[in-house]
Structure 1
Amino acid sequence: MLAAMPPTPPPSPEPGEAPTRDRGDACPGALRLHAAADGLLARLRLPAGRLTSRQVMVLADAAESLGDGSLSVTSRGNAELRGLRDGCGAGLAALLADAGLLPSPTHERVRNIVASPAAGLDGLGHADVQLWARALDAALCAEPRAAALSGRFLFALDDGRGDVAGLGGDVTLIAAPDGAAFLTAGTETFRLPGAGAGGAGHAAAAGSAAGTAGTAVRAALACALAFLDAAEAAGTGAWRPRELPGAHLPDWARALARAAITAEPVPSFAPPPAALPPAPGPLGDHALHVLAPLGRLTAGQLRALGAGADEVRLTPWRGVVVAGPAPDLLPALAAHGLVTGPADPRTGVTACTGTPGCAKSLADVRADAARAPGGPLPVHYSGCARRCGHPHGTRIEVTALGPDTYLLDGVPVPRTALAEAVAAARTTPMES
């Protein structure tokens, strides 16, 4: 269980044809390590990106003592430790388990839950979906069959502001202003009614919110299990609903009914408008948001973030929401090299690992991304055509064709002219 696993090349089905897979996905986890060019890699699933202050400090220690001294934030708000030495698996597992970061060894790779990072902190949104995420995580870990989900199956929990609803979730929950919730599974959407306050006052409202959360969590789990049933019947080894053959799509409505969940189909559902990620800086009166430069946090930066924080939440935009401290902590975090304001040219710049960390990369994309000019549009640098870790939504794509040539939104550009070309491109959108 602790052995390094080689990567699995993705199959190449014909256009419009569902892929057939003859093996499970080799997505790395905390126990199943991946052998990269720079050492072993561990991917830690962090539902809703949530970490306690103590857990942040444990990860900082692990990065220094076992890895390359830093932690990577993924596009799902998870964490990666890189450069891990051979034979460290058992020690790492014990460290994570002691910190409460490994609640279920059998389910650790399926705890893929993104949730609105600012929920419950800035007064926006219709529900605190961070609490939903915790309940869903517990439900997943308590369901033996859920361990069969692939490491790529994603739950997205949006508090109604539209920040994570568009992140490609396989099951998406969106809080509604009337206390209800919308559930999208595959291409179908259902309305899950609110629990009903049954009275007046704060206690009744809290009870209604808890009831809605419980219904939403049970519905999400029912849909995940329905996908497993459909995937088993199809026999194609599908990892996600979008990969199922048309003749084997789940009957989502029946699955919800069997779970005793009242769900009303919404044939023409209009999701909330996509919201931009929060800008770096204060987030309400008691929280702040900063970005990790190129998605990497050094051990020192982790300790600065965790010091005195009530809670830390890694975000799908490779940022960190810190709950508890006053915004006047921002200068200290800026001194540690974090992105603390929207005018910082590093805002919106992301990159894959590149060389020398990834053997498939054709260029040192992180070095080139570090020189990226500022601009209003996000830009992602990829070392090869796989474009690992690219963000969702409107962005500029920069893909290495070799060490000295890049493809910039479909046009070859010499590396010597790349900065100027990126500066111009960051004013012209490309749709995902």
Structure 2
Amino acid sequence: MPTPARVRADACPGVFATHDAADGPLARVRLPGGTISAAQLRALADAAEACGDGDLHLTSRGNVQLRGVTRPGLAGRLADAGLLPSPSHERVRNVLASPLSGLRGGLADVRGLAAALDDLLCATPELAALPGRFLFAFDDGRGDVAGEGADVCWRATGPGSGTLLLAGGDTGRRVTRADAVSTLVAVALEFCRIRGTAWRVAELDDPAWRGTPVPRTEAEVPAGLIERDGGFAAGVVPRFGQLSAGQARALAQFGTALVTPWKSVVLPDVPADVFDRLGFGGTALGTTACIGRPGCAKSRADVRADAVFRPGLRAHFSGCERRCGRPSQSHVDVVAEDGGYRIDGRWVPIDELKGCL
């Protein structure tokens, strides 16, 4: 069943239209395909210190947020770093791509497709009208980003072939890799033409925008040293997806980085002693959380202080029913309420929290 179309204005944050959080304005910086060069990562670290709270906050769409942006100059810094190629399109550059593509596994190499889509997206004036939550994706066949709720996705079925997914459903339309970018842009243009008040493909009533549901694949969160042809890559998993400016600069010493939809970072080409040199991020962490108090006025608790970590636990701690930042993969749902938390629907007092997880 389609979900009801939206009646309120699209307030998805960007750089020019920030979100007013309890800890100050929040700016979201889009990174199509999660790709960020070493120079851009350093520029973001500098901007976080100069304009915000000093940290980079990774998102579940492979983007970066800066919080507490109370000092001027952010847009100029990002533009100088090449992170704002089209101010009119900056909120609609939402593109996922399989982060391990071309490094390990997968049926096709989707590297370069996100950048090509971004170029065409920014060169198409009509697509500046896309809602800020509309999401593109390129899946290399392993099924990792195909399960992340993209409105339109090209999923590889072979090195040069793939299928078109709409809102996670397979349309049966076969598309070559060479035509993937132009096809996704054509779908987005048609969506703009007919969408009415809908923000997402799943909100459309037209059955032509439906496909056969595709079984979910549990995504592999890249963590630790990753063997690849001719060397190593690394999956860096910062606690709560939050990097200090210093940690971001440490990552930049290894060149281009890929921010994943699982609030982690892939470094495609690293030495075997990368984690000795970094000093952090070599172990997968199953617990995630929204920003909680004091950063969010709607949160009922400091969920990051209350969060429970233990081996094998996959849980998401939310300060309220909005469940911001929750992962798409299966997890234990932990939502703050007065005096305690509701764990998968069962209320427990705060002093019993650790014993129930």
Residue 304 (structure 2) aligns with: 366
1:285-341 CA distance string (max 9 Å, x none):
23111101111100111011011x2311111111010122213111222x2xx3203
Which structure 2 segments of 5+ residues have no match?
none
2:184 is the alignment partner of 1:230: no
> Residue 368 and residue 251 in structure 1: after superposition, are their counterparts in 2 closer, same or farther (change >3 A)?
closer
Residue 163 (structure 1) aligns with: 144
Residue 51 (structure 2) aligns with: 66
Give the drift of 1:398.
Answer: 0.8
CA contact under 8 A between 2:5 and 2:199: conserved in structure 1? Answer: no
In 2, Cα distance between the equivalents of 1:176 and 1:155? 18
2:116 is the alignment partner of 1:135: yes
2:320 is the alignment partner of 1:378: no
SS in 2 for 1:157: strand
Give the drift of 1:189.
Answer: 1.6
Residue 240 (structure 1) aligns with: 200
Equivalent residue letter for 1:131: G
Alignment of 1:17-416 (within 5 A): 18-85=3-70, 88=72, 91-122=73-104, 124-186=105-167, 187-194=169-176, 212-213=177-178, 215-232=179-196, 237-244=197-204, 246=205, 248=206, 273-284=217-228, 285-307=231-253, 309-333=254-278, 335=279, 338-342=280-284, 347-369=285-307, 372-402=308-338, 404-416=339-351
In 2, Cα distance between the equivalents of 1:142 and 1:332? 41
Equivalent residue letter for 1:112: N
Give the drift of 1:352.
Answer: 0.4
Which structure 1 segments of 5+ residues have no match?
1-15, 195-211, 253-266, 423-432
Q: TM-score, normalised by structure 1?
A: 0.78
CA contact under 8 A between 1:42 and 1:81: conserved in structure 2? Answer: yes
In 2, Cα distance between the equivalents of 1:275 and 1:28? 27
In 1, Cα distance between the equivalents of 2:2 and 2:271? 52
In 1, Cα distance between the equivalents of 2:141 and 2:134? 22
1:159-208 CA distance string (max 9 Å, x none):
111111101110011112252111112445234354xxxxxxxxxxxxxx
Equivalent residue letter for 1:71: L
SS in 2 for 1:181: strand
> Residue 251 and residue 77 in structure 1: after superposition, are their counterparts in 2 closer, same or farther (change >3 A)?
closer
Identity among equivalent positions (%) equals 48
> Residue 20 and residue 169 in structure 1: after superposition, are their counterparts in 2 closer, same or farther (change >3 A)?
closer
In 1, Cα distance between the equivalents of 2:217 and 2:340? 37
Equivalent residue letter for 1:361: S
> Residue 188 and residue 117 in structure 1: after superposition, are their counterparts in 2 closer, same or farther (change >3 A)?
closer
RMSD: 1.9
Residue 353 (structure 2) aligns with: 418
CA contact under 8 A between 2:2 and 2:202: conserved in structure 1? Answer: no
Give the drift of 1:385.
Answer: 0.4
In 2, Cα distance between the equivalents of 1:173 and 1:303? 33
Equivalent residue letter for 1:325: V
SS in 2 for 1:129: coil
Q: TM-score, normalised by structure 2?
A: 0.94
Equivalent residue letter for 2:37: T
Give the drift of 1:349.
Answer: 1.3
SS in 2 for 1:176: strand
> Residue 410 and residue 131 in structure 1: after superposition, are their counterparts in 2 closer, same or farther (change >3 A)?
same
Equivalent residue letter for 1:172: C
CA contact under 8 A between 2:225 and 2:232: conserved in structure 1? Answer: no
CA contact under 8 A between 1:314 and 1:320: conserved in structure 2? Answer: yes
Equivalent residue letter for 1:282: I
More strand by share: 2
Residue 430 (structure 1) aligns with: none
Which one has a bigger Cα radius of gyration? Answer: 1
> Residue 412 and residue 270 in structure 1: after superposition, are their counterparts in 2 closer, same or farther (change >3 A)?
closer
In 1, Cα distance between the equivalents of 2:188 and 2:267? 31
1:358-400 CA distance string (max 9 Å, x none):
000000001112xx13132421110000000100021011100
Aligned residue-pair number: 354
SS in 2 for 1:40: strand
CA contact under 8 A between 1:116 and 1:129: conserved in structure 2? Answer: yes
Equivalent residue letter for 2:106: G
Equivalent residue letter for 1:356: P
